[in-house]
Amino acid sequence: MSSRKITYAEFQDLVTKPKNILQDRIIQHRWERCRFLMDYSIMYNHPDIVYFLLDKGWDLYDVEIFRKILGSAQASEYIDYYIQKGINLNDERFYKPIEVEDYMFNYENEYLDNDPNTDMENEPVIRYIYQPISYFTRNSCVVKKMIDNGLDIKKNVFDTEWGCLKRAIDYGEMDFVIDIMQYIDKDHLESEVWWCLMLNHVSQDGNVGKGAEKCYTILCEREKLLNSGLQPSRDIYDKVKVKWYHEVKEDPGEFRD
């Protein structure tokens, strides 16, 4: 990477220039590998600069940048470029877990109980969070394009903690959910255990008061995909609703049992 940092003021000035001058200036300042320039260009939606940097040899397997690409406004167009360049969407570099420091209290430690002077707050616990690349986009079109180009569905869609479908369900992004449900295989569609894990937070993360309705909609869509011709069963709904933050007292629709 370039050691020459571009300031935000320089970036603002750069984007006002005609395309040929802009590109010449990037080369002149050796900004072809400048992470600040790439970050600004993605963040402030300047795809011409992003494509120019990619064409100048930016590493397609730069995980941090690729995740930002997937979360950007131009993600659908950017993924076309990556696919045209022959990117392997299942490359192990995209699936390395993220190391995080988890600050927590350990109330079960016997030494804390025996010593009243012990500070209850422990040193941070190092955790490793598995986040597949699909987790970083909220655009179902992008996920479809990646699936059609060999994306590992098991890792990216069916994962019950960090998959893109789980995230969309938790955030109540129903258009995304319905789009991606078309890729669920019969084994997962029929698995009650899997669905209970997928639906256990649908009432949270901004969906206060609407989780039950969204859960019901998903269960209805499941029956359509199973071609059952039936209303959903209460089995899954009754099991997941007890784990929701908000209590649900009324049924959101009709069940078959």
The predicted model gives 198-223 an average pLDDT of: 85
**Is residue 37 scored above 50 in pLDDT?**
yes
In the prediction, which pLDDT does 110 show? 43
Query: 203: closest CA among 249, 234, 142?
Result: 249
DSSP code at position 204: -
In the prediction, which pLDDT does 151 show? 97
Q: Which two tokens stand for residue 167?
A: 């995230």
In the prediction, which pLDDT does 106 show? 47
Residue count of the chain, please give it: 257
**Is residue 63 scored above 70 in pLDDT?**
yes
Lowest pLDDT segment from 118-127, 132-141, 148-157, 182-191: 118-127
pLDDT tens for 158-176 read: 999 999 999 999 988 999 9
Average pLDDT over all residues of the chain? 89
Strand partners, 102: 125
For residue 110, with 0-12 CB atoms within 10 Å meaning exposed, 13-18 middle and 19 or more buried, which class applies? exposed
Strand partners, 19: none
Q: Above pLDDT 70, what percent of the chain?
A: 89
**Is residue 21 scored above 70 in pLDDT?**
yes
Integer angstrom CA distances of residue 126 from 64, 98, 99, 111, 119? 20, 10, 7, 21, 19
- CA–CA dist 72, 138 (Å, integer): 9
pLDDT tens for 85-104 read: 999 999 999 998 888 887 76
pLDDT band at residue 205 under the 50/70/90 scheme: low
Alpha carbon 228 to chain centroid, angstroms:
31
- CA–CA dist 192, 235 (Å, integer): 8
